[in-house]
Amino acid sequence: MDIRPAVPEDAEAVSALRRATFSYLVMSAATARYMIAVQPPAARVLALVAVADGEIVGWGSAGLNTWTSEAGQAGVTIYVHPEHRGQGIGGALAQRLHEHLGGIGAVRARTFATAEGVEFAKKFGYDGTRQMHYAGVDPRELPERPAQAEGIELVTMDQLDPRQAYAADAVASLDEPGDSPTDAVDYDDWLEEIWHAPGLDKALSVAAMAGDEVAAFAAIETDGDRAWSAMTGSIPAYRGRGLAKLAKWEALRRCADAGIVGAFTSNDDENGPMLAVNNWLGYRRVATQTGLLRKF
């Protein structure tokens, strides 16, 4: 077994490994390639692959969260193919990643673990009980369309100026539950990481417009016949009017028309409004992961 830095040519294998490990996560090879090749320099990301018999069997990445005003907040992701567990691959990845984080000024790292991964994370000094729920729906089986809201027009996001989408995303993200506030989103970084990312399908993503302003939106990423909700948000002045339901319903209907048969999402257990929207849309829970933190 060899651990080496990930390169863009690993994208197909990384996407397949992720799918084999988490059936409910959606990341196309193009998205994996972009994730490996394009990272903001300030994040100081280290991305590693574990290779056994010429095959990529493990992924590990760590870097700083550049979208929060809190200094030194880091994220760690590790996963190993189910058939290659118990051989020290995850531990070797964790050691390399923690050494890296120690050298770039990390103060605290966050990771998410499946039930079997929690004990592993605790061995490396992580602790916590934050719950992240994963859920899926067949977009061909939606409830009845909600009534159109007065004065609101639905458009696909390919019709937007990116500044309009950024304004809504940045404001809505402030209220997403998490360990660190998402309160320092630089426009140019957002353009590169979100707007120009190959997975974002702007023709399936929908914005509910109040005049020129995005009042609510549902952003969709795709991989073949599966979709991932990249973000749903409403700006505070327009909350509680059914606009997130309307925008996401329309986006999912478009997904169904485009041949998508499974749409997936993740929600923090504390996100009552988003869980209510998704429950109404018919999402069923498929997994829960635990969010844990480690100090440096």
Ligand X SMILES: CC(C)(COP(=O)(O)OP(=O)(O)OC[C@H]1O[C@@H](n2cnc3c(N)ncnc32)[C@H](O)[C@@H]1OP(=O)(O)O)[C@@H](O)C(=O)NCCC(=O)NCCS
Minimum CB separation from ligand X for residue 102, in Å?
Answer: 31
**Whose Cβ is closer to ligand X: residue 31's or residue 232's?**
232
Among the listed residues 280, 286, 293, 296, the single contact to ligand X using CB under 6 A = 280
Q: Binding of ligand X at residue 15 (CB under 6 A)?
A: no
Q: Which amino acid is at 282?
A: G
First to last CA, the chain: 28
CB closer to ligand X out of 138 and 176: 176
Q: Say whether residue 130 binds ligand X (CB under 6 A).
A: no
Asked whether position 273 contacts ligand X by CB under 6 A, the answer is: yes
Among 6, 17, 172, 194, binds ligand X (CB under 6 A): 172
Neighbour tally for 177: CB within 10 Å? 13
Residue 242 lies near ligand X (rule: CB under 6 A): yes
Part of the chain binding ligand X (CB under 6 A), chosen from 7-15, 95-103, 170-178, 184-192 = 170-178
Q: Tell me if 50 sits within 8 A of 56, measured CB to CB.
A: yes
Which residue of 234, 252, 254, 263 would you call a contact of ligand X, by CB under 6 A?
Answer: 234
| Diameter of the chain measured on Cα atoms | 60
Under the binding rule (CB under 6 A), the answer on residue 47 touching ligand X is: no
176 makes contact with ligand X (CB under 6 A): yes
Determine if 216 is a binding residue for ligand X (CB under 6 A).
Answer: yes
Q: Which stretch binds ligand X (CB under 6 A): 80-88, 91-99, 184-192, 227-235?
A: 227-235
Could you say whether residue 189 binds ligand X (CB under 6 A)?
no
Minimal distance, residue 255 CB to ligand X, in Å = 17
Query: Which residue's CB comes closest to ligand X?
Result: 272
Binding status of residue 272 toward ligand X by CB under 6 A:
yes
Task: Give burial (CB, 10 Å; 0-12/13-18/19+) of 144.
Answer: exposed
- Give least dist CB 177 to ligand X, A: 7
- Whole-angstrom distance, CA of residue 196 vs CA of residue 104: 27
Q: Does 239 bind ligand X (CB under 6 A)?
A: yes
Residues forming the site for ligand X (CB under 6 A): 172, 175-176, 216, 231-234, 239-245, 267, 271-274, 276-277, 280
